[in-house]
Amino acid sequence: MRKIILIYLPYANGQFREAGLELVEKARELTDGLDWEIRAAALLPGEGAPAAPLPSISKLYLYKNTSIYDVNNSAAVLTALCEEIRPEIFLIGATAEGRAMAPLIAASLTTGLTADCTKLYFDETEELVQVRPAFEETLRASIKTRTRPIMATARPGAMILNESRESTEIPELIAREFPYINSLTQLSVDRIPRTGIRSCKILVAAGGGIQNKEDLEPLGAFARSLGGELASSRKLVERGWMPRERQIGLSGFSTKAELLITIGVSGSAQFQAGIHGVKKLIAVNNEDTAPILALADYPVLMDLNELIRFLRKESFDERNIQAS
Amino acid sequence: MRIAVCCKAVPSQKVGIDPHTGNINRSEAGCSVNMYDYAAVETALRVKDSFPDTEILVFSMGPEGAGEALREILSLGADQAFLICDPAFRGSDVLATSLTLAKALTLLGPFDLILCGKQTSDGDTAQVSGELAARLKIPYIPWVTNCVSVSRTEARVVSEMDDCLVTWKTSFPALMSVDPRAFTVRTASLTGKIQSRRKEIPLLTRALLELPEDYSGAGASATRVIRGEKLAVIKGKTPARLTPTAFHELALSAADPRKAVQS
């Protein structure tokens, strides 16, 4: 029997989320030329399924689910599916939902789980190696799992993928029912208005090298003068200086900005995981050992205090700027 | 009510990797409470403010030095802290950690509410709380950003999912992972600090937890770090020393190449 990679496809507003589709792409890349089978599972709130072609997936399990936000229920569904089809590998996109349900499934199956992988590859025996940033700063760990299924999550946008292949293949659809396990009572659901920062073309990111909260003000004005927005690394979010939705990195968002200018960002593994897609990187730091400088198209050494003083003095006229 | 708060003492200084095992070397570093755990602590303290007969027990798994970090939580008003500590627990991954924690909580339980921080600042996986809930077979509410109300029998909380805030009602027992945005932790009173010094922080060893030898630690872990490496320092371009004015020009031309041509 062929070994199976199972992928959970998170679904929202009539389509599959990017986080799941990226993993399909990854699984295809992993098994290219090898004798593996890729299957996927999704939980849908209503009837019907999205008709989008899913390249390389042989079977798609569709569960009608009445409470899409209750991860206890979703985890029970997927645990049962794993027990039935016994996949070798089970990949889950690290959305808020995926990050919550993956541990529930892993513990129920008594198997290993690796969070937020930035790289997945097969060793010479087709055993999965999972790479993730570890311990905040500059360490990266390669991990193997001795139990099955091997479970891993990956943040949307955190993995480098090859160009996707055009395909019109449609998988075999398998509709399923699953009894809802009523553990929680849902009282209300409120949409979160999103800031446009995730899709911003120009970003200035402030990092731990910024010494005073007030210094963020001239940096914000500078970002807007370029037609961009101010983002940050995790350190400033943890200091409470920047809101979480503006955090770039593994535990924040991934950006594909045309231009990213980092000011005082050291460039930890967890920050680097969020900037693979950036087209042009200007990194400013006052220490020449900051890892970000090695990645930058334009590494710049500068006294940050001097820069802040300069930016404060410049009076940016935001009306003259046309965001392209 | 009885509440368990699970905390982690994280290395507060620079850490090294053990060249033999590839695991993080925790013995070299001092410890402090994982900053993400304070919101869970404060949630418990607020329940105790409303229901003074509430008992708050703190559990942490870590090396012996981690006990002192827990004293801070005692000084804030928790009743008792336990350090789950045994050389046999070394090298535990999420699966082994959740198993060991579940055993301790079962032994000292039952609890109405079990609270965890959203994630740790070192491992950053945010997985232990979910695995613990599954082990204990109780409902899990992830990413709680707002604790609306807690009565003696149920809680109403807001959980932040991908593009919405979901308000849940749950009966007890339940396990929640609390986001730092839910609460900012209070400061300890002088009395609290003095009282916390007098408290014993008992060690829960493998023997006390009645765990078989191969039940925890590296041997019971499903995942294994095969390699830990420093981020490769790829020698990139040599950094340029720029004046603020020169940097500003660089930024402007990068943001809008047309402008650079004109000037």
What does pTM read for this prediction?
0.83
**Confidence category of residue A58, pLDDT binned at 50, 70, 90:** very high
- Average pLDDT in chain A: 88
CA A130 to chain centre: 15
Asked if B252's CB is within 8 angstroms of A188's CB, the reply is no
The DSSP code for B139 is: -
In a domain, A183, yes or no: no
A95 and A17, same domain (yes or no): yes
Summarize the confidence of residues A31-51 as an average pLDDT: 85
- Domain ends where: A127, A150, A177? A177
Peptide bond into B110 cis (omega under 30): yes
Using alpha carbons only, give the angle B143, B146, B148 rounded to the nearest 5 degrees: 130
pLDDT in tens, B40-92: 999 999 999 999 999 999 999 999 888 888 999 999 999 999 999 999 999 89
Lowest mean pLDDT among A34-38, A123-127, A286-290, B126-130: A286-290
Asked if B77 and B48 count as a contact pair (C-beta separation under 8 A), the reply is yes
Strands A139-145 and B223-230: antiparallel
Whether residue A79 is contained in a domain is answered as: yes
Nearest to B255 among A96, A147, A227 (CB): A227
Structure confidence by residue, pLDDT tens digits, B165-216: 999 999 999 999 999 889 989 999 999 999 999 999 999 999 999 998 877 8
Does A135 lie in the same domain as A275?
A: no
State yes or no: ipTM above 0.90: no
> What whole-number distance in Å separates Cα of residue B4 and Cα of residue A124?
45
Q: What is the pLDDT of residue A323?
A: 43
Q: Is residue A114 part of a domain?
A: yes
Rg (Cα) of chain A, in Å, rounded?
22
> What crossing angle do the helices spanning A71-85 and A96-108 adopt, rounded to 10°?
50
Domain span at residue A80 reads 3-177
Last residue of a domain, one of A127, A143, A177: A177
Indicate if the pLDDT at residue A193 is higher than 90: no
pLDDT tens, residue by residue, A147-162: 999 999 998 877 777 7
Q: Which of A49-53, A101-105, A283-287, B135-139 has the least mean pLDDT?
A: A49-53
* A141, A185, A298: residue with CB nearest B250: A298
Could you tell me if A278 lies within 8 Å of chain B, comparing CB atoms? no
Residues A235 and A88 grouped into a single domain: no
Q: Give A133's contacts in chain B (Cβ within 8 Å).
A: 124
d(CA A71, CA B140): 8
pLDDT per residue as tens digits for the range B131-174: 999 999 999 999 999 999 999 999 999 999 988 999 999 999 99
**pLDDT of amino acid A273:** 83
Cα separation, B142 vs A99, in Å, equals 9
The structure tokens listed for B141 are 């509410």
Nearest-CA neighbor of B230 among B11, B31, B15, B28?
Answer: B15
Interchain pair B160, A96: CB under 8 A: yes
Is A105 in the same domain as A16? yes
Distance from CA of B119 to the nearest CA of A (A): 10
Q: Give how many domains chain A has, as a whole number.
A: 2
Does a structural domain hold residue A185?
no
Closest-CA residue to B92 (of B141, B122, B128, B143): B128
- Tell me which residue in A100, A108, A259 faces B142 most closely, judged by beta carbons: A100
With respect to residue A184, please indicate whether it lies within any of the assigned structural domains: no
CB B161 within 8 A of CB A17: no
Instruction: Answer whether residue A191 is part of any domain.
Output: no
Statement to judge: residues A45 and A165 lie in one domain: yes
Same domain, A71 and A170: yes
CATH number at residue A250: 3.40.50.1220
**Quick one: B2-220 is in which CATH superfamily?**
HUPs (3.40.50.620)
Q: Closest Cα partner for B40 from B79, B7, B74, B78?
A: B7
Last residue of some domain: A149, A177, A205?
A177
Together in a domain, A145 and A212: no
Closest by Cα among A310, A311, A293, A313 to A301: A293
A295 and A260 housed in the same domain: yes
List pLDDT tens digits, range A196-217.
788 899 999 999 999 999 999 9
Average pLDDT in the A49-68 region?
Answer: 80
Residues shown for chain A: 324
A208 has a chain B CB within 8 A of its CB:
no
What secondary structure letter does DSSP report for A84?
H
**A267 alpha-carbon distance from chain centroid:** 17
Determine, yes or no, domain membership for A130: yes
Whether A258 maps to a domain, the answer reads: yes
Domain spans of chain B, in order of start = 2-220
B24: left (phi over 0), alpha (psi -120 to 50) or beta: beta
* pLDDT at A78 exceeding the cut of 90: yes
My answer on whether A169 and A202 are in the same domain is no
A130/A220 same-domain check: no
Does one domain contain both A204 and A156? no
Which own/partner contact pairs does B149-156 have at CB distance under 8 Å and 24+ positions apart? Answer: B150/B46, B150/B47, B150/B50, B150/B113, B152/B1, B152/B51, B152/B112, B155/B113, B156/A187
- Nearest residue in B to A261, CA atom: B251
Given pLDDT bands bounded at 50, 70 and 90, which one contains residue B106?
very high
Residue A115 shares a structural domain with residue A206: no
